[in-house]
Structure 1
Amino acid sequence: MYLIVGLGNIGKEYDGTRHNIGFETIDYVSEKKGIAVKKKEQNGLTGVYHEFGQKIMLVKPTTFMNNSGLCVAGLMNFYDIPIENLIVIYDDIDLAAGVVRIRKRGSAGTHNGMRSLIQHLGSPEFSRIRIGIGRPEMGSELVHFVLGRFAKSQFPIMEKAVIDAVAGVDYFIKDGIDLAMNRINGRKNTAVEQAEKTENDGNDGSDRK
């Protein structure tokens, strides 16, 4: 059995925020697979589907971000899921908006949800899909940034990022973490490239005196 966890905060006031991109990805997977993520268990909402000869559980913790590990550890213990069958999807300020990276392991960085998971699982040795949300402007508070919403101009970038993350989930289950990393980490988000090109074209020095 595989556990696919998206991190976020429960509540309509958090819908569409940068910190909820993990939830958004789980919602996209559930829609694509035709299942509902609504069963309440172990401080989370879950939904199950079968693919590639495997039973796969989608998870949205309902503990709020800072206590996400309580839900994940509870489900893994209850269903006796090995840590190598866990992958966690979450937002990352250390990646540019729209960039997706898969890793086998790693630290929590500044992410409180990942800190909670590592604490409750007792190990950082689990796979994760990081979706870049970019960094706040100088002087802006991090909490306001991650709980804010994407600019309309970023919608295409983030939609493509979610699609890539979902593809990463499929690769992870079907072919393993190494191939998932090879397939996804080398991908280029054309929407990101176009945004960068537009920004660079607007700063080509042609208006300098």
Structure 2
Amino acid sequence: MGEERFLLVGLGNPGPRYAATRHNAGFFVLDLLAERLGAAFKAHKSQCDVVEGRLAGVPVVLAKPRSYMNTSGGPVAGVSRFYKVPPERIAVVHDELDLPFGALRLKRGGGDGGHNGLRSVTASLGSNEYARVRFGIGRPPGRQDPADYVLREFAASERKELGFLVDRAADAVELLVGEGLSAAQNEYND
């Protein structure tokens, strides 16, 4: 029997206007994983940009939906159907308001915590049994609206650490793929 592949999804918004925003933390991590594979994303009929390769010796598909965050479920479900990957073999990397900036947590299942991207993915897959790699972006300061906050670029002080944090999140994804969720949780959950 062939090895089961993993589908790794990064959530974000397409286009230059959103490229450096907090909501695109998932894209940052997937871009680094693609770089590690020495591959470039290519358009796919599922409305995702995809890269195929091997991480930690396991076949993987990296996918970045080309739709906006709150409708990313359709493309994710499409790419999972195309590659025949069940929810249990999907990991979604996303920004997380409920974690302090720089914190990283991995888990399987659960609610969407008000995250529209996760809500859309869960609805479209008809399951919440996928793994989540939650990239902490912290809460907005003062009375700033969270919806506005996630669409802003990281602060200068945060940008200094961002490369290291994205690298750490990519390492966590590789461990998840290679050794499973609990190994990655033990190593990386803050």
Task: Tell me the TM-score range normalised by the shorter chain.
Answer: over 0.9
Question: How is 1:114-129 mapped onto 2 (pairs within 5 angstroms)?
Answer: 114-129=118-133
Matches of 1:139 and 1:174 in 2, distance apart?
Answer: 42
The secondary structure found in structure 2 opposite 1:36 is: coil
Partner of 1:142: 146
Partner of 1:203: none
Is the Cα–Cα contact under 8 Å of residues 7 and 61 in structure 1 kept in the other structure? Answer: yes
Alpha carbons of structure 1 residues 114 and 183: separation in structure 2 relative to 1, 3 Å: same
Partner of 1:104: 108
Is the Cα–Cα contact under 8 Å of residues 87 and 128 in structure 2 kept in the other structure? Answer: no
Percentage of identical aligned residues: 38
Give 1:169 deviation, angstroms: 1.1
Q: Is 1:83 matched up with 2:87?
A: yes
Q: Is 1:70 matched up with 2:74?
A: yes
Instruction: Give TM-score scaled by structure 2 length.
Output: 0.94
Question: How is 1:177-196 mapped onto 2 (pairs within 5 angstroms)?
Answer: 177-186=181-190
Partner of 2:26: 22
Q: CA RMSD in A?
A: 1.2
- The code of the aligned residue for 1:118 comes to T
Q: Is 1:59 matched up with 2:68?
A: no
Partner of 2:16: 12
Greater relative CO (CA pairs within 8 A, separation 6+): 2
Moved more, 127-136 or 71-80: 71-80
Larger Rg, first or second structure (1 or 2): 1
Matches of 1:63 and 1:180 in 2, distance apart?
Answer: 29
Is the Cα–Cα contact under 8 Å of residues 109 and 129 in structure 2 kept in the other structure? Answer: yes
- The code of the aligned residue for 2:120 comes to S
Gaps of 5+ in 2: none
Question: What per-residue deviation string (whole Å, max 9, x for no partner) do you get for residues 13-38 of structure 1?
Answer: 00110000111111111112211112
Question: What per-residue deviation string (whole Å, max 9, x for no partner) do you get for residues 131-177 of structure 1?
Answer: 01111122211121000011111113322221111011111111011
Larger helix share, 1 or 2: 1
Match of 1:3 among 7, 13, 33: 7
The secondary structure found in structure 2 opposite 1:11 is: coil
- The code of the aligned residue for 2:126 comes to G
Matches of 1:166 and 1:3 in 2, distance apart?
Answer: 14
Partner of 2:36: 32
Q: How many residues align?
A: 186
Matches of 1:31 and 1:77 in 2, distance apart?
Answer: 25
Instruction: Give TM-score scaled by structure 1 length.
Output: 0.85
Give 1:85 deviation, angstroms: 1.0
Runs (4+) of structure 1 moved beyond 4 Å? Answer: none
Matches of 1:156 and 1:108 in 2, distance apart?
Answer: 29
Give 1:119 deviation, angstroms: 0.5
Matches of 1:52 and 1:13 in 2, distance apart?
Answer: 33
